[in-house]
Structure 1
Amino acid sequence: MIRVLLVDDQQLIRAGLRMLCDAEPDLEVVGEAGNGREAITLAARLAPDVIVMDLRMPGVDGISATSRVLAERPATRVLVLTTFGDDDHLYPALTAGACGFLLKDAPPAELLDGIRRAAAGDSPFSRDVLQRLVRRATDAGAERRRGPVEGLTSREQDVLDLVGEGLSNTEIAERLHIGITTVKTHITALMTKTSSPNRVRLALLAHRDRP
């Protein structure tokens, strides 16, 4: 069971997220917070596995709350869910330690998948956000490689290329006509073989040989 703490200053948003999570047998909403200060207190008391964190809130905002929660509980996974996908919100959130970044207009299935991926140690990002991260890194002069990454199977290279396009595990499974468990196995192997700590690093690696 994945223990989830919902943090958003809008009660209606929290209610919708709770209904969404409560319908899933593997997710348990253990608490709700209306601002960053409450999130810090509840995180210490409830020990959630994943915190779904809004960014713009009165008092202590989501970025400050993320930093303070992770300073006390570094194993907690903070998944940002926000209306604002611009760099002024994205990079401070990642610097504070957020493991993923989803936009509030994401489909419900993407959010649920993101919570599960965050709990499993993955880094879920909305596709547009991930592609922007990759573009910024490559535009800044990320190292380029020559040809495919050495030591990968052809299927692992296929999966890596699709990670670089920002596809989720479910979308990769559909594109390659393989099971999602198989995709997860390939992702794990890719991270091990390339010494990549997260999905963002894999996406950057996938783009290093592109013009």
Structure 2
Amino acid sequence: MTIQVLLVEDQNLVRLGICSLLELTKEIKVVAQLSDGCDVNSVCSQYQPDIILLDIRMPKTDGLTVLSNMKSVGLTVPVLVLTTFDEHDLVLKCMQFGARGYLRKDVSLESLISAIRCIINGELWIQPAITEQVHRHDLIADINLVNQSIEALTSKETQILRLIAAGYSNHEIAQAVHKSDGTIRNAVSAILAKLNVRDRTRAVITAMEHGLI
């Protein structure tokens, strides 16, 4: 099965570079390209992409507006946000508006493909390097200011949450930390309860907002 991609990026060289990289694979095809976000909804209706690679900063309709517009019309195509290191505040806002992950524009082809596969499979893709930059720029609340209704996570729960953020399934996490699948399921349930969220996506976003990962 070929993964069909809609690429939305205003810089011509970056857009052509990403397309050239993806053309090296047989499983991914760029079915449409846009240099601005204003026509994303209509192009999605026409081409039915499996995933959108979306730039944050564009001259007319930026990535955040695209996500908001998609949400308003119920368009559920998963979105991978493309970013640079000076856009941490917008990255977090995009995640809050429904983006499934974010990735630097200068990543390797292997990382790009891994991110696309991960998001297509219903997981999140959180690039650790960007998360660390977010922490350093104080764009996520300091851990000491975490809402009192959120219980502290144990070191093991934090480790599991980081693996969730990296796109690992429960089974993959169990293999990584040498625990049973049932133990990991219970741990994930405990994490969701402590963070007062219903699902893994909200758990990751909440943890990012409060500086837990």
**Same fold? TM cut 0.5:** yes
Of 144, 149, 153, the residue aligned with 2:151 is 144
Aligned counterparts, 1:41-190, within 5 A: 41-131=42-132, 132=134, 136=141, 138-142=143-147, 143-145=150-152, 147=154, 160=160, 163=163, 169=168, 189=185
Looking at structure 2, the residues matched to 85 and 116 of structure 1 have their Cα atoms a distance apart, in angstroms, of 26
Question: Is the 8 Å Cα contact of residues 37 and 60 (structure 1) preserved in structure 2?
Answer: yes
Higher mean C-alpha deviation, range 15-24 or range 44-53: 15-24
Cα distance per residue 1:77-113 (max 9 Å; x no partner): 0110022443331232123221111121323222211
State the shift of 1:167 in Å.
5.3
Task: Tell me the secondary structure at the aligned position of residue 82 of structure 2.
Answer: strand
Question: Is the 8 Å Cα contact of residues 49 and 77 (structure 1) preserved in structure 2?
Answer: yes
Looking at structure 2, the residues matched to 80 and 146 of structure 1 have their Cα atoms a distance apart, in angstroms, of 28
State the shift of 1:69 in Å.
2.3
Partner letter of residue 114 of structure 1?
A
- Residue 152 of structure 1: aligned partner: none
Residues 97 and 135 of structure 1: CA distance in aligned 2, closer, same or farther (over 3 Å): closer
State the shift of 1:114 in Å.
1.0
State the shift of 1:5 in Å.
0.4
State the shift of 1:128 in Å.
2.7
Counting matched residue pairs gives: 192
Higher mean C-alpha deviation, range 7-16 or range 101-110: 101-110
Question: Is the 8 Å Cα contact of residues 163 and 202 (structure 1) preserved in structure 2?
Answer: no
Question: Is the 8 Å Cα contact of residues 3 and 50 (structure 1) preserved in structure 2?
Answer: yes
TM-score of the aligned structures, taking structure 1 as reference length: 0.70
Question: Is the 8 Å Cα contact of residues 160 and 203 (structure 1) preserved in structure 2?
Answer: no
Looking at structure 2, the residues matched to 68 and 158 of structure 1 have their Cα atoms a distance apart, in angstroms, of 33
Partner letter of residue 80 of structure 2?
L
Residues 147 and 139 of structure 1: CA distance in aligned 2, closer, same or farther (over 3 Å): closer
- Residue 195 of structure 2: aligned partner: none
Identical counterparts, % of pairs = 23
Looking at structure 2, the residues matched to 18 and 75 of structure 1 have their Cα atoms a distance apart, in angstroms, of 23
Structure 2's unaligned 5+ residue stretches are 193-197
Looking at structure 2, the residues matched to 135 and 60 of structure 1 have their Cα atoms a distance apart, in angstroms, of 25
Question: Is the 8 Å Cα contact of residues 85 and 129 (structure 1) preserved in structure 2?
Answer: no
State the shift of 1:10 in Å.
1.4
State the shift of 1:27 in Å.
1.5
Residues 161 and 125 of structure 1: CA distance in aligned 2, closer, same or farther (over 3 Å): closer
State the shift of 1:54 in Å.
0.3
Higher mean C-alpha deviation, range 53-62 or range 20-29: 20-29
Of 197, 200, 203, the residue aligned with 2:199 is 197
TM-score of the aligned structures, taking structure 2 as reference length: 0.70
